Amino acid sequence: CNNHINSCIDSYFRSHICIDSHFLSDSNNSNESYIYNFICSESERGKIRESKNDKIRTNSNHNNLMSSKDFDITKNYNQLWIQCDNCYGLMYKKVEMNVCEECGHYLKMTSSERIELSIDPGTWNPMDEDMVSADPIKFHSREEPYKKRINSAQKKTGLTDAIQTGTGQLNGIPVALGVMDFQFMGGSMGSVVGEKITRLIEYATNHCLPLILVCSSGGARM
């Protein structure tokens, strides 16, 4: 019976691990030693594979955890970090002047950021900051009253309307600058925007200043 079992085992290992017949016929001790070593080595390989799989799963879980935290990072530290609208990469806000370092996508900028980027530090003098829309035609929309929309946009952006105007220096050269802000009702032009642009042009003309207008607008306010 034992001989039959040993014969079956020999046949199995010959077919699966290609052991030469003369090697298996040498002695029972050598057979048992080889079989033991083979089984142990396979067991160790299995453990290594499981260990690698565990590491892969751990790294995958870690990546998922980090990606789930991206929103919290941008939410809590949005003054330092910004997320690209195109590739969703996370980067330091002041790197590459608002151009994504991964895909080259141009990021959105507020009017205040454009002024800070363009005008020499300490030279910006805003104009007509206290000018606000009075809703002279009593405009009403189906969704929300016009005055409430204006108030909501003011709270959201900290601006009085969709443009900032003023004077400053650009590389030491005095200029008049107007920058529209798309975050304020799509940068649309109402009475205040039109009046501030007109006053800026007149001021630049009277003082012989170069005039720069940065357009970021959806058109006339509807």
CA atoms within 13 A on the CB side of 190: 24
Name the pLDDT band for 135 (thresholds 50, 70, 90).
confident
Answer whether residue 219 is part of any domain.
no
Q: Tell me: the pLDDT tens digits for 69-98?
A: 444 554 565 667 788 888 988 887 766 677
Answer whether residue 134 is part of any domain.
yes
Beta bridge partners of 173: 170
Task: Please give the radius of gyration of the chain, using alpha carbons only, rounded to the nearest integer.
Answer: 36
Answer whether residue 183 is part of any domain.
yes
pTM flag (> 0.85): no
Which pLDDT does position 193 carry in this prediction? Answer: 93
Answer whether residue 168 is part of any domain.
yes
Instruction: Judge if 117 and 139 occupy the same domain.
Output: yes
Q: Which of 88, 107, 126 is the last residue of a domain?
A: 107
- CA pair distance 211, 205, nearest whole angstrom: 8
Answer whether residue 181 is part of any domain.
yes
Q: 29-33, 41-45, 106-110, 202-206: which has the highest mean pLDDT?
A: 202-206
Instruction: Judge if 187 and 114 occupy the same domain.
Output: yes
Is the four-CA dihedral 213, 219, 220, 222 of positive or negative sign?
A: negative
The residue segments making up the domain with residue 174 are 109-214
CB 155 within 8 A of CB 185: no
CATH of the domain at 205: 3.90.226.10
Check pLDDT > 60 for residue 17.
Answer: no
Q: Tell me: the pLDDT tens digits for 162-191?
A: 999 999 999 999 999 999 999 898 888 888
